[in-house]
Amino acid sequence: MQPDPAPAPAPAAVPATPRWQRLWREAVRDPRELLAMLGLDAVAAGISDAAAAQFAMRVPRGFAARMRPGDLHDPLLRQVLPVVDEERIVPGFALDAVGDGAAKKADGVIQKYRGRALLVATGSCAVNCRYCFRRHFPYADETAARDGWAGAVAAIAADPGIDEVILSGGDPLSLATPKLAELSAQLAAIPHIRRLRIHSRLPVVLPERVDEAFVEWMSALPWPVAFVVHANHANEFDASVDQALARLRRAGAQLLNQAVLLRGVNDSVDALAELCERGYAAGVLPYYLHQLDRIQGAAHFEVDDERARALHRQLAARLSGYLVPKLVREVQGDPGKRPL
């Protein structure tokens, strides 16, 4: 008989994959599967394989669970389902609607406005929103993470006029927490940074992302944190989202919401008022209501300016002043978002 081999050395503690990363990978990517889950017919829904090939569908299962079964016009479904309307070429709707190319300061750093620099932390998102400019740049090859943050951090360090760094993307929370910690450690050495801002849709579409490790990281940051989430409809909130937002608040973040005005999703004063009130109940103040960026494939979501203004006026007549978001549009070359 052979002697037993020496026992293998105990494996070094391999950190378990965080739960949110598993949920991320299990997202629904097949439009037919999503429709079947909701008891809907693919033909009636007008889904488009061409649109899905151009910009893949991606929907976390928890987000899909907040859709109303049997309702083709569900406001959450409309935001994520690839449909034939996207194939229409509409004059004025371009591939790069916001002119980010012109505002580049370094790889992954965009500065358009005084005092604040936007850091494109990553190109990925947990959900693919059909109206997003990202549909034409899904890979964002120029993220700030690529060289271990060196180029981005050097560009910010070299400009004392920057006092606020905005982590954006893609979705910055698609980066693992240790990666975010790497970045914040480098930024902490820059004396002129006084505020950090995070733009992320994950607390809403994949609230499990706000786990203990993340909260620990955020609580220890040396700056006040403004956390701007992105919800377009009251139905996007549920108990799991409320919990994630409560954790962010306990970690010291000021919570704000930006929404996009979308035809067929939230273009009624009732839907907008409910969104603002539901967000506030979860500790989130309305910040911006954006007019759609005019990108190819999103024309069917557009609400014209006159209707947008009318909706906004009605909203202001209904709600407390602090519950009314600013109605804005991004215009290339402007010193900030342009009020309508």
Ligand X SMILES: *Cc1c(COP(=O)(O)O)cnc(C)c1O
**Residues of the binding site:** 125, 129, 132
CB 232 within 8 A of CB 265: yes
Residue spans of alpha helices (H) in 16-146: 19-25, 31-37, 42-45, 49-54, 61-64, 75-80
Query: Of 171-200, which residues contact ligand SF4 (CB under 6 A)?
Result: 171
Which structure tokens are listed for 339? Answer: 């009020």
Residue 249 and residue 285: Cα distance in Å, rounded?
12
Member of 59, 67, 81, 118 binding ligand X (CB under 6 A)? 118
Nearest one of 84, 85, 86, 63 to 74, comparing CA atoms: 63
Of residues 155 and 231, the one with the C-beta less far from ligand SF4: 231
Which structure tokens are listed for 189? Answer: 């050495």
Of residues 78 and 112, the one with the C-beta less far from ligand X: 112
Work out whether strand 104-106 and strand 195-199 pair parallel, antiparallel, or are unpaired: unpaired
* Shortest separation between residue 118's beta carbon and ligand X, angstroms: 4
Instruction: Give the annotated binding-site residues for [4Fe-4S] cluster.
Output: 125, 129, 132
Query: Of 30-89, which residues contact ligand SF4 (CB under 6 A)?
Result: none
Q: In degrees rounded to 5, what are phi and psi of residue 23?
A: -60, -35
* Shortest separation between residue 339's beta carbon and ligand X, angstroms: 11
| Residue 129's binding partner out of ligand SF4, ligand X, none, with CB under 5 to 8 Å set by partner kind | ligand SF4
Residue 290 and residue 262: Cα distance in Å, rounded?
9
Member of 46, 161, 178, 336 binding ligand X (CB under 6 A)? 336
* Shortest separation between residue 82's beta carbon and ligand X, angstroms: 26
Place of tokens 């151009």: 54
Q: Which residues, 6 or more positions from 62, have their beta carbon under 8 angstroms from its beta carbon?
A: 23, 205, 206, 207, 208, 240
Work out whether strand 164-168 and strand 116-120 pair parallel, antiparallel, or are unpaired: parallel
Residue 123 and residue 174: Cα distance in Å, rounded?
9
**112 contacts ligand SF4 (rule: CB under 6 A):** no
Binding mask 116-145 for ligand SF4 (x = CB under 6 A): ---------x-xxx--x-x-----------
Binding mask 214-253 for ligand SF4 (x = CB under 6 A): ----------------x-----------------------
**112 contacts ligand X (rule: CB under 6 A):** yes
| Residue 132's binding partner out of ligand X, ligand SF4, none, with CB under 5 to 8 Å set by partner kind | ligand SF4
Work out whether strand 326-329 and strand 338-339 pair parallel, antiparallel, or are unpaired: antiparallel
Of residues 55 and 287, the one with the C-beta less far from ligand X: 287
* Shortest separation between residue 164's beta carbon and ligand X, angstroms: 8
Of residues 170 and 319, the one with the C-beta less far from ligand SF4: 170
Residue type, 13: A
Member of 28, 166, 210, 269 binding ligand X (CB under 6 A)? 166
User: How many CA within 13 A on the CB side of residue 151?
Assistant: 16
Alpha-carbon torsion (122, 126, 128, 131), positive or negative:
negative
Of residues 23 and 103, the one with the C-beta less far from ligand X: 103
Nearest one of 91, 4, 83 to 44, comparing CA atoms: 83
| Residue 336's binding partner out of ligand X, ligand SF4, none, with CB under 5 to 8 Å set by partner kind | ligand X
Q: Where do contacts with ligand X occur on this chain (CB under 6 A)? A: 103, 110, 112-113, 116, 118, 166, 336-337
Q: Where do contacts with ligand SF4 occur on this chain (CB under 6 A)? A: 125, 127-129, 132, 134, 169-171, 201, 230
